[in-house]
Amino acid sequence: MPDQHTDPVALLNHVGEGGETQLPAGGDHPPMTTNQGVVISDDENSLKANRRGPVLMEDFVLMEKISHFNHERIPERVVHARGAAAHGFFELTESLAEFTRAEVLTKVGQRTPVFTRFSTVAGNQGSADTARDVRGFAVKFYTQQGNWDLVGNNIPVFFIQDSIKFPDLIHAAKQEPDRGFPQAQTAHDTFWDFASLTPESTHMLMWIMSDRAIPRSYAMMEGFGVHTFRMLNEDGKSTYVKFHWRPKLGSQSVVWDEALKISGGDPDFHRRDLWDSIEAGNFPEWELGVQLFDEAFAEKFEFDVLDATKLIPEEQIPLRIIGRMVLDRNPDNYFAETEQVAFCTSHVVPGIDFTNDPLLQGRNQSYLDTQLSRLGGPNFAQLPINRPQCPMRNFQRDGHMAMNIPKGRVSYGPSSLEPTTERADPQAGFRSHPAREEGDKLRARSKTFADHYSQALQFFQSQTKPEQDHIVSAFVFELSKVDTDAVRARVLAQLANVDPAIAQRVAAGLGHDGAIPKAPASNPVRTDLKPSKALSILAKFEPTLKGRKIGCLVADGTDPALVLELEKAAETLGAFFKVIAPKVGGAKGSDGGTIRADFQLAGGPSVLFDTVVLAVSAEGAKTLAKEAAAVAFVHDAFAHLKVIGHTADAQPLLDKAGVEPDDGVVALSDSKGTARYLKQASEGRIWDREPKLRAVF
Ligand code: HDE
């Protein structure tokens, strides 16, 4: 009998003579059963009155299967619907015992299991990964003192200061309600209408128009807790804290045109990258850093530390690295884990506490509430992915889908009937900071929240030239998609408050003539804030090819030795090496053998790679120069400022794609060519090329 696992045609004939179907038994395949454990005899034919007769109501196998299928979907997250996640651990390297009683932050060397989910905010679950958007960065720590959820973003500030504005922000950003589009983008009237009328969003607008909003990989972005939190030590002493995640691979972004094309070329770009990296053993890793400060600093800081539209520059409060997070295991099941994981800002452990940040306070209610409708009831905490990995006992009982089976008569307290019922513990238990509050009850915002422009300017001034150019271009792109002139004009007026020069540049890009009035502002912009290097991605760039992807284009006639040499070098550098050929079956090498391919040309555009090599012979270059997908491959790599390595024979292809010589176009003509190319590629993009290729306003 042919082996069904190795013989590709062995399973083709599994329909029996009588029309019944059954895959052959044998091997280690366990029998398939119904949900009641009854073994199923045929999973491909429903029960009928005769071969061509009506389907019978009594077919419980069919009914159960279809009925379960009908209920497979749950409501997607109202925001952050699209995400990907992984398991891993957090390891503490420096104790914060002086500041907190949270054991996860005091037991050096201890590894705490984590589950971390990354997401975009605006798009629906099926939207593309590379939309311009904030990325969610949510970490669930399964600590021995209970679950701690640090539900952050890849941007350290937020659009609004008070949670009461959140539904408006999200309604404005998501699809417009009458037409149901656009999907996963802020480039439309309602978002910019809201933003232009919400001056407090200006700082955040600078960030989302920057390259931070189009990361190259989840593993190449920073994460931030955003709010100021509190730590409480054994004596109850309080210290303020802001949390930061720092990627080991360094931060990196794609360029905008690339992001647009990746959305088509591989809508799963980020989740695939996360999955593949973990499968390959290249585990994504971040350092956890904290900014710690006291009331005295909070008093003298230029802005209110409770205002989530502000950050504290690292030059003022340096980052203290206290541990690392490694993601080393992909989920077994997307729905059970990534979809059902329920993050709540209110999930904190003894030693970590909230502040009065009004955004944080609102979130504490929102996340718990949303899980009730998303996951169907109050027992979501009993799902395997949400369950704490320490003892969990209380008198909450029953409800939909209760999975725990509590024992005994006592489900109340105080009680005396059983000697081992649970009781609150004032010593080990969670205690809130006894902050003193007084004043009038009112709906108002503190005047200390009123400066909406100074840090926006500081952010812009902290960027390198290409990064500033990208911010301007992003504003131009987004506002060009806004139909209402008044909305565009209002955004310009907000920008003029940050810096009239920025507003002028955006106006020039839009072709907007005329004066740009400044929006009224209670606080004029401060120009005395020093630029902060930590706010730029490029200023901190460290050359590397680790975790990056090299795309090697081959065709018939390619020298296999060159491909092998590149592949080995890439492996040594920790880079992924992928071969792209006109046919997925591979190309015929110059030695007559086959060079295997990972991608067919049309399915492997250069946007999927950080750098490309054109490993082609004279014959191959001639053929590829007539192939639009190959020309686009090279043209895009050049336009996206990538380093291109090439054989001397590739010249006709380079010419056809309009590639001009520069530092990033490296010939592999001599024995040192490969090393030269890889060194240049590790330096990242060729930023000097950019002004030659597109208008910079
Ligand atoms: Fe969220 N947010 N948010 N948010 N948020 C949700 O919770 C909300 C805010 C963030 O991977 C929802 O389970 C309010 C800031 C992440 O599952 C919801 C406000 C930051 C995720 C919700 C904010 C975030 C969410 C939707 C203003 C960064 C995805 C489904 C007060 C610090 C978590 C869900 C995951 C998800 C509410 C603002 C981050 C509706 C009311 C600021 C990473 O509860």
Give the position of tokens 């959140």: 166
pLDDT digits (tens, 9 = 90+) for 486-509: 999 999 999 999 999 999 999 999
543: burial class by Cβ within 10 Å (0-12, 13-18, 19+)?
exposed
Strand 135-143 relative to strand 111-120, pairing:
antiparallel
Annotated active-site residue in 147, 153, 154, 330: 153
206: burial class by Cβ within 10 Å (0-12, 13-18, 19+)?
buried
| Cβ–Cβ under 8 Å, residues 468 and 540 | no
| Cβ–Cβ under 8 Å, residues 512 and 488 | yes
pLDDT band at 2 (very low <50, low <70, confident <90, very high): low
DSSP state of 39: B
pLDDT digits (tens, 9 = 90+) for 545-581: 999 999 999 999 999 999 999 999 999 999 999 999 9
pLDDT at position 23 is: 74
Rounded Cα–Cα distance for residues 240 and 355 (Å): 8
Q: Which of 154, 311, 343 to mutate to test the pocket of ligand 1 (most atoms within 8 A of CB)?
A: 343
What is the SS3 assignment for 255?
Answer: coil
Residue 1 has pLDDT above 70, yes or no: no
Rounded Cα–Cα distance for residues 253 and 211 (Å): 6
- Tokens matching residue 331: 């989920």
Instruction: Summarize the chain as % helix, strand, coil (round to 5).
Output: 35, 15, 50
- The pLDDT > 90 percentage for the chain reads 94
The secondary structure element, H or E, covering residue 116 is: strand 111-120
Residue whose CA lies nearest to ligand 1 atom number 28: 152
Q: Give the CA dihedral 119, 125, 127, 133, nearest 10 degrees.
A: -30
Instruction: Give 346 Cα–ligand 1 centroid separation in angstroms.
Output: 12
- Tokens matching residue 301: 């800081």
Assess whether the C-beta atom of 243 lies below 6 angstroms from ligand 1.
no
Peptide bond into 75 cis (omega under 30): no
Q: Where are the beta strands (DSSP E) in 168-248?
A: 223-224, 229-232, 238-247
Assess whether the C-beta atom of 79 lies below 6 angstroms from ligand 1.
yes
DSSP state of 287: E
pLDDT digits (tens, 9 = 90+) for 283-342: 999 999 999 999 999 999 999 999 999 999 999 999 999 999 999 999 999 999 999 999
Mean pLDDT of 44-62: 96
- The pLDDT > 70 percentage for the chain reads 99
pLDDT band at 7 (very low <50, low <70, confident <90, very high): confident
Complete domains list, the chain, with CATH: 1-72 (4.10.91.20), 83-382 (2.40.180.10), 543-693 (3.40.50.880)
Assess whether the C-beta atom of 77 lies below 6 angstroms from ligand 1.
yes
- Tokens matching residue 521: 């502002």
Q: Which residues of 225-261 are buried (b: 16+ CB within 10 A; e: fewer)?
A: bbbbbbbbbeeeebbbbbbbbbbbbbbbbbbbbbbbb
- Tokens matching residue 115: 């589950």
pLDDT digits (tens, 9 = 90+) for 517-535: 988 888 889 999 999 999 9
| Cβ–Cβ under 8 Å, residues 633 and 553 | yes
Comparing CA positions, the residue from 696, 614, 616 lying closest to residue 659 is 614
Q: Cα separations (Å) of 470 from 199, 253, 358, 454?
A: 22, 11, 32, 20
Region of poorest pLDDT, from 25-29, 88-92, 515-519: 25-29
Report residue 39 CA to chain centroid gap. 42
Give the position of tokens 């208008």: 695
- The dihedral built from the CA positions of residue 339, 345, 347 and 350, taken in this order, carries a sign that is positive
124 tagged catalytic: no
| Cβ–Cβ under 8 Å, residues 662 and 690 | no
The set of long-range contacts for 37-45, using a CB threshold of 8 Å and a minimum separation of 24, is 45/19, 45/20, 45/21
Strand order through the sheet with 549-553: 599-600, 576-581, 549-553, 611-614, 644-646, 665-667
Residue 48 has pLDDT above 60, yes or no: yes
pLDDT band at 14 (very low <50, low <70, confident <90, very high): confident
Rounded Cα–Cα distance for residues 112 and 144 (Å): 8
364 tagged catalytic: no
DSSP state of 492: H
pLDDT digits (tens, 9 = 90+) for 216-243: 999 999 999 999 999 999 999 999 999 9
pLDDT at position 24 is: 73
Q: Which of 74, 76, 78, 79 to mutate to test the pocket of ligand 1 (most atoms within 8 A of CB)?
A: 79
Assess whether the C-beta atom of 115 lies below 6 angstroms from ligand 1.
no
Q: Which residues contact 180 (CB under 8 A, 6 or more apart)?
A: none
Strand 644-646 relative to strand 665-667, pairing:
parallel
What is the SS3 assignment for 191?
Answer: helix
Comparing CA positions, the residue from 304, 320, 323 lying closest to residue 312 is 304
CB atoms within 10 A of CB 527: 10
pTM for this one? 0.97
Rounded Cα–Cα distance for residues 454 and 452 (Å): 6
Residue 11 has pLDDT above 80, yes or no: no
Rounded Cα–Cα distance for residues 305 and 356 (Å): 10
Comparing CA positions, the residue from 494, 253, 204 lying closest to residue 359 is 204
What is the SS3 assignment for 178?
Answer: coil
